[in-house]
Amino acid sequence: MADPGLSRFCLFCLVHIALLPSLCFAADPYVFYDLHVSYLTASPLGVPQQVIAVNERFPGPVINSTTNNNVVVNVWNDLDEDLLMTWSGIQMRRNSWQDGVLGTNCPIHPKKNWTYQFQVKDQIGSFFYFPSLKFQRASGGFGPFIINNRNIIPIPFAQPDGDIIIMIGDWYTRSHKALRSALDAGQDLGMPDGVIINGKGPYRYNTTLVPDGIEYETIHVDPGKTYRLRVHNVGISTSLNFRIQNHFLILAETEGHYTVQQNFTDVDIHVGQSYSFLVTMDQNASSDYYIVASARFVNESLWQRVTGVAVLHYSNSKGPATGPLPDPPNDTYDKSRPLNQAVSIRQNVSASGARPNPQGSFHYGSINVTETYVIKIVPPVQINGTLRATLNGISFVNPNTPIRLADQYKVKGEYKLDFPSRPLNRTPRIDRSVINATYKGFIEVIFQNNDTVMQSFHVDGYSFFVIGMDFGDWTEESRNRYNKWDAISRCTTQVFPGGWTAVLVSLDNVGTWNIRAENLDRWYLGQETYMKIVNPEENGETEMAAPENVLYCGALQQLSKDLTNSAVSLPRGSSKLSFCLLVAFYAMITLFS
Ligand SMILES: *[C@@H]1O[C@H](CO)[C@@H](O)[C@H](O)[C@H]1NC(C)=O
Ligand SMILES: *[C@@H]1O[C@H](CO)[C@@H](O)[C@H](O)[C@H]1NC(C)=O
Ligand SMILES: *[C@@H]1O[C@H](CO)[C@@H](O)[C@H](O)[C@H]1NC(C)=O
Ligand SMILES: *[C@@H]1O[C@H](CO)[C@@H](O)[C@H](O)[C@H]1NC(C)=O
Ligand SMILES: *[C@@H]1O[C@H](CO)[C@@H](O)[C@H](O)[C@H]1NC(C)=O
Ligand SMILES: *[C@@H]1O[C@H](CO)[C@@H](O)[C@H](O)[C@H]1NC(C)=O
Ligand SMILES: *[C@@H]1O[C@H](CO)[C@@H](O)[C@H](O)[C@H]1NC(C)=O
Ligand SMILES: *[C@@H]1O[C@H](CO)[C@@H](O)[C@H](O)[C@H]1NC(C)=O
Ligand SMILES: *[C@@H]1O[C@H](CO)[C@@H](O)[C@H](O)[C@H]1NC(C)=O
Ligand SMILES: *[C@@H]1O[C@H](CO)[C@@H](O)[C@H](O)[C@H]1NC(C)=O
Ligand SMILES: *[C@@H]1O[C@H](CO)[C@@H](O)[C@H](O)[C@H]1NC(C)=O
Ligand SMILES: *[C@@H]1O[C@H](CO)[C@@H](O)[C@H](O)[C@H]1NC(C)=O
């Protein structure tokens, strides 16, 4: 203690520095996470293999936040290849810089870390994160992402007695690198080796079908209680039927919006989709119960091993689950059952979501559509000697420089704003075509699936209204059957093979946003594009500036510097922040005078 005056001054500084954020961001608290992404040896299906773990866990830890929180996630790449983490369903308002896909971010190189920072503005719900590059999701790296309601906004059901997260997905014992090589060689991936539930293989419900020694998932519950199950299909390409023996699933939320609560015995969950179910433990616990996720829309007698089985264990259970699994849905004489289930999922228009006013009060059905996009999906084709998947005849390749970064530095030729709004009768090609979308537009997008497999489509940065879904070809006449009142708003929708799905999107979020097939193989083969939305006016709704720690690559590689010691950047484009900086400056001047 050389100078008591100086130390008093510094104490004063510290108090000020500590107080400033709480004064300035009091309404929007921060949550901090560190995600270390690395390889781990695990045997989900009884065969040792390399999986991708997060903080040495597989699946990764939950990111738990509340509406409007500022989320700071430092992602460490301990893999041997590039990495980007993406946040499926998180809208990143005006901030596609944090979206974690190649069209918006340069990759995080091996042995490097990069800090994402974004606000979960006006959102609630159940989502997940996953690595977006190089087929890595097929080896894991995923984890749940929850946005809780603020305390002042009630949820539209009694507070559940507990939250249970269930991540289901098809699984191969081959690594993501082996699967990638197969696709590069033009091969089909074939039938998955199984379905995993929370990173674990099936319970041995049948000694012929399930080998001995596989570790399975057990969900522990108490009799009489009601739990919120958040179920996510984080798999590669298989739609899964989810059901629990002797228990009903009350559907309550999907991808950020509360649904009309409905009672199901089983629900189809397509790749990339998330649901919350309320499940009451109302059985007599004469035994444990099976939790099942079985392959759907395939020949089930051939695909028997592609079934995930976990155990629901009551604290007063009298013994293990035995006997056959609960029956899968039998659609033999009713091909429209899965479609009817899908369109029965509707929004609770009187339930509050992130804001006190009911989320459904936005009368989308009476807004005029400004543009229609018909996006046609066909089976993969050979282009220039490689197998590629297309949207409207275009198989997308990512620009070397992310789109908005290229714009900012006036790098030409990285992409073209010429994605066609209708399928064109021309030779399929590999291109960098992006949708030139109009800010504040209200667009109708029709996904027409002429492929032979079920597909699901996801749009980053947005929720969309799923207003129609049917078999056959979409025509103008199909509009007469749209749901114009209580269509569910979500971010990932299924598109039946030989059918179509129509969605409405209100283009109020500036930036560049990925539109992609969630089926990992189709996405890898080029079934994606981006939508670029720029606000032509400087009215405070423009895009945020690139973060201070922005990574450079491609044509801007030379700007790249080692940022390992740079501070976490603060949110920008915020007048509140400028005000706070002014206050800080004023405080400093006062101190020094
Ligand atoms: C998330 O945080 C809330 C409140 O901070 C807590 O009640 C809840 O149990 C947490 N959920 C999980 C899954 O960690
Ligand atoms: C990497 O992590 C360090 C330590 O937490 C942090 O100070 C730094 O900002 C991070 N780097 C980037 C680019 O986010
Ligand atoms: C819809 O939300 C309201 C408001 O929270 C709730 O009272 C009601 O039970 C919900 N209705 C259905 C059918 O889910
Ligand atoms: C186990 O599965 C096989 C093949 O489907 C079936 O033939 C057999 O009956 C099953 N065993 C039991 C005990 O259910
Ligand atoms: C769900 O439906 C079943 C059968 O119709 C019924 O027994 C059960 O009480 C229902 N559950 C709820 C919560 O409505
Ligand atoms: C428990 O319920 C099952 C039917 O769900 C019934 O067969 C069984 O006898 C019941 N056991 C007891 C101990 O009540
Ligand atoms: C399913 O596969 C079995 C075994 O190969 C075959 O006998 C059956 O015809 C197939 N069913 C359908 C509907 O293709
Ligand atoms: C499906 O239902 C039909 C009609 O009830 C029946 O004939 C058929 O055997 C069932 N299939 C299976 C796999 O249970
Ligand atoms: C929608 O379009 C119709 C017909 O073009 C027009 O009469 C109506 O005023 C428009 N509505 C709105 C809200 O712009
Ligand atoms: C095939 O590759 C050649 C040379 O790279 C290129 O000029 C041509 O446009 C490509 N054709 C298609 C259909 O992409
Ligand atoms: C993109 O759309 C805007 C209007 O929304 C238009 O001004 C611009 O010229 C378009 N750009 C291209 C390359 O078509
Ligand atoms: C694909 O389109 C063709 C021509 O319109 C049609 O004949 C065929 O049935 C369609 N196939 C699927 C799976 O939709």
pLDDT at residue 593 is higher than 70:
no
Ligand nearest to the CA of 263: 5
Task: Report which ligand 8 atom has the smallest distance to the Cα of 332.
Answer: 1
Q: Which pLDDT band, with edges at 50, 70 and 90, does 562 fall under?
A: low
Identity of the amino acid at 399: P
pLDDT at residue 24 is higher than 70:
no
Q: Which pLDDT band, with edges at 50, 70 and 90, does 214 fall under?
A: very high
Task: Report which ligand 10 atom has the smallest distance to the Cα of 384.
Answer: 1
**What pTM was estimated for this model as a whole?**
0.91
Instruction: Considering the domain delimited by 158-326, tell me its CATH architecture.
Output: Sandwich (2.60)
Q: How many residues does the chain have?
A: 593
Q: Which pLDDT band, with edges at 50, 70 and 90, does 586 fall under?
A: very low
Distance 384 CA to ligand 12 centre (A): 24
pLDDT at residue 371 is higher than 90:
yes
Residues with CB under 6 A from ligand 4: 206, 208-209, 304, 324
Same fold, 158-326 and 364-534: yes
Q: Note the pLDDT tens digit of each residue in 423-467.
A: 999 999 999 999 999 999 999 999 999 999 999 999 999 999 999
Domain range annotation of the chain: 30-154+563-593, 158-326, 364-534
Which residues fall within 8 angstroms of residue 42, CB to CB, at 6 or more apart? 48, 49, 51, 53, 58, 199
pLDDT at residue 571 is higher than 90:
no
Question: How far apart (Å, rounded) are the C-alpha atoms in residues 119 and 571?
Answer: 9
**590 CB under 6 A from ligand 7?**
no
Q: Which pLDDT band, with edges at 50, 70 and 90, does 584 fall under?
A: very low
Tokens of 344: 């029965």
- Is the CA virtual torsion 448, 453, 454, 457 positive or negative? negative
Distance 40 CA to ligand 11 centre (A): 47
| pLDDT at 332 (0 to 100) | 75
Which residues fall within 8 angstroms of residue 408, CB to CB, at 6 or more apart? 546
- Is the CA virtual torsion 564, 566, 572, 574 positive or negative? positive
Nearest CA to ligand 12 atom 7: 450
CATH topology of domain 364-534: Immunoglobulin-like (2.60.40)
Mutate to test the pocket of ligand 5, among 228, 248, 265, 281 (most ligand atoms within 8 A of CB): 248
Nearest CA to ligand 11 atom 2: 436
* The listed CATH number (2.60.120.10, 1.10.357.10, 3.40.50.150, 2.60.40.420) that belongs to domain 30-154+563-593: 2.60.40.420
| pLDDT at 577 (0 to 100) | 42
Mean pLDDT taken over the chain: 91
Question: How far apart (Å, rounded) are the C-alpha atoms in residues 397 and 382?
Answer: 15
pLDDT at residue 418 is higher than 60:
yes
Query: Residue by residue, what is the 3-state secondary structure of 93-157?
Result: CCCHHHCCCCCCCCCECCCCEEEEEEECCCCCEEEEEEECCCCHHHHECCEEEEEECCCCCCCCC
| pLDDT at 13 (0 to 100) | 34
Nearest CA to ligand 6 atom 14: 284
| pLDDT at 361 (0 to 100) | 67
Distance 283 CA to ligand 5 centre (A): 13
| pLDDT at 313 (0 to 100) | 98
Report the side by side order of strands in the sheet with 143-148. 63-66, 143-148, 125-131, 85-88
Distance 118 CA to ligand 1 centre (A): 19
Q: Which pLDDT band, with edges at 50, 70 and 90, does 567 fall under?
A: very low
Q: Which residues of 75-96 are buried (b: 16+ CB within 10 A; e: fewer)?
A: bbbebeebbbbbbbbbbbbbbb
**417 CB under 6 A from ligand 11?**
yes
Ligand nearest to the CA of 568: 2
Q: Note the pLDDT tens digit of each residue in 305-360.
A: 999 999 999 999 999 999 999 999 988 778 899 999 999 999 999 998 898 877 76
Q: What's the rounded mean pLDDT across residues 536-555?
A: 93
